[in-house]
């Protein structure tokens, strides 16, 4: 288990990680989510001893990383696929890692086969690796010591659809073996399919720590409604808001509503004599749940793009 207790990391007056207390349990895939600047990468660095916490603890199996006798046998991690000497081949990189932790060359062969890098690919210098190949090499390094704890930061970055599916299956198979698997990602659709549990951060603080299905269910069902009469749609929005629903405008002719049903929206539009061109319920998704959870924790929020030509 990865155990974090009031873990805090400050850079000057900024708290990158702010009193984070959470357990990352074995036997499941835990998705580690948050907007840019939420503190995910810093948290992973603190767990691996790459940064020192300002306060609190980060433990792996009850011990800090620096006290692990054979680190690769305890925890495997991929934080940056580019962290390889550019002139060293993939095989040489793994062989050096293996030698430093008393791991046989046979195990190097096994992990190369597991991640799908054949002898020809493994013999290439790292500078010749594509982003996807680099990710596979990084995952091979994480698996090298057959550790019970695995941490991956954006592991599907640069992979093709087949590679993305492979990562999903690998993560779930590792968790099924009783290992602790922590994956940080911005791909909500992929995390919805992969993660059993979610830990969500926003500006360094814990927002959610719950099963994926619960986080999604709590976001509710969204109702999409369109009308050719903007003034009528605005009246519908006002009535729905007064009734406690959450209404988001998607232009002058469209609303997205949560906290009510499509039937209620339709009845209200009929009552106000507002014609509708669309009225549909959309199943809750992790993307919508994530956006709702982190709406006030986004460090860089872009405005909607304008349509049409730019003014002179």
What percent of the chain has pLDDT above 70? 95
| Residue 310 pLDDT exceeds 70 | no
Distances, alpha carbon 70 to alpha carbons 147, 208, 249, 289, in Å: 10, 33, 55, 40
Instruction: Please compute the mean of the pLDDT values over residues 4-28 and round it to a whole number.
Output: 96
Per-residue pLDDT tens for 141-171? 999 999 999 999 999 887 888 889 999 999 9
Instruction: Please compute the mean of the pLDDT values over residues 282-305 and round it to a whole number.
Output: 70
Per-residue pLDDT tens for 52-67? 999 999 999 999 999 9
Instruction: Please compute the mean of the pLDDT values over residues 35-39 and round it to a whole number.
Output: 91
**Phi and psi based region of residue 261 (left: phi greater than 0; alpha: psi -120 to 50; beta: remaining):** beta
Identify whether the C-beta of residue 29 lies closer than 8 Å to the C-beta of residue 181.
yes
Instruction: Please compute the mean of the pLDDT values over residues 297-307 and round it to a whole number.
Output: 52
Instruction: Please compute the mean of the pLDDT values over residues 2-23 and round it to a whole number.
Output: 96
What percent of the chain has pLDDT above 90? 74
| pLDDT confidence tier of residue 288, bands split at 50, 70 and 90 | confident
| pLDDT confidence tier of residue 287, bands split at 50, 70 and 90 | confident
Residues 57-72 as b/e (b if ≥16 CB within 10 A, e otherwise) read ebbbeeeebeebeebb
* Nearest-angstrom CA–CA distance, 58 and 65: 8
**Per-residue model confidence (pLDDT) at position 108:** 97
| Residue 91 pLDDT exceeds 60 | yes
The three-state secondary structure class of 48 is coil
**Per-residue model confidence (pLDDT) at position 300:** 54
pTM value? Answer: 0.81
Top pLDDT among 8 and 304 is at: 8
| Residue 11 pLDDT exceeds 90 | yes
| pLDDT confidence tier of residue 127, bands split at 50, 70 and 90 | very high
**Per-residue model confidence (pLDDT) at position 289:** 84
* Nearest-angstrom CA–CA distance, 300 and 305: 15
Q: Which CATH superfamily is domain 221-283 in?
A: UreE, C-terminal domain (3.30.70.790)
| Residue 308 pLDDT exceeds 50 | no
DSSP per-residue string spanning 148-216:
SEEEEESTTTT--HHHHHHHHHHHHHHHHTT-EEEEE-S-HHHHHHH-SEEEEEETTEEEEEEEHHHHH
Instruction: Please compute the mean of the pLDDT values over residues 184-213 and round it to a whole number.
Output: 94
Q: What are the start and end residues of each CATH 3.40.50.300 domain in the chain?
A: 2-210
Q: What are the start and end residues of each CATH 3.30.70.790 domain in the chain?
A: 221-283
**Per-residue model confidence (pLDDT) at position 306:** 45
Topology (CATH level 3) of domain 2-210:
Rossmann fold (3.40.50)
């Amino acid at each position: 288990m990865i155990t974090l207790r009031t873990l805090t990391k400050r850079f000057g007056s900024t708290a990158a990680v702010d009193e984070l207390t959470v357990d990352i349990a074995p036997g499941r895939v835990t998705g580690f989510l948050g907007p840019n600047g939420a503190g995910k990468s810093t948290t992973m660095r603190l767990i691996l001893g790459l940064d020192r916490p300002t306060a609190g603890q980060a433990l792996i199996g009850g011990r800090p990383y620096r006290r692990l006798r054979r680190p690769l046998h305890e925890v495997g991690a991929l934080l940056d696929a580019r962290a390889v000497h550019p002139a060293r081949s993939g095989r040489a990189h793994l062989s050096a890692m293996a030698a430093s932790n008393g791991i046989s060359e046979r195990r190097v062969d096994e992990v190369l086969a597991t991640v799908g890098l054949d002898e020809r690919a493994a013999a290439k210098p790292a500078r010749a690796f594509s982003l996807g190949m680099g990710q596979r090499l990084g995952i091979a390094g994480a698996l090298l010591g057959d550790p019970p704890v695995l941490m991956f930061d954006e592991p599907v970055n640069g992979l093709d659809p087949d590679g993305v599916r492979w990562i999903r299956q690998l993560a779930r198979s590792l968790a099924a073996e009783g290992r602790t698997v922590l994956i940080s990602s911005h791909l909500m659709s992929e995390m919805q399919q992969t993660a059993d549990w979610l830990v969500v951060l926003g500006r360094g603080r814990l927002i959610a720590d719950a099963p994926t299905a619960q986080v999604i269910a709590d976001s509710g069902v969204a109702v999409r409604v369109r009308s050719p009469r903007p003034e009528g749609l605005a009246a519908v929005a006002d009535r729905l808001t007064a009734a406690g629903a959450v209404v988001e405008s998607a232009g002058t002719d469209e609303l997205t509503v949560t906290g009510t049903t499509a039937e209620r929206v339709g009845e209200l539009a009929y009552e106000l004599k507002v014609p509708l061109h669309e009225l549909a319920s959309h199943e809750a998704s992790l993307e919508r749940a994530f956006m709702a959870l982190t709406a006030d924790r986004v460090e860089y929020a872009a405005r909607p793009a304008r349509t049409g030509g730019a003014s002179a």
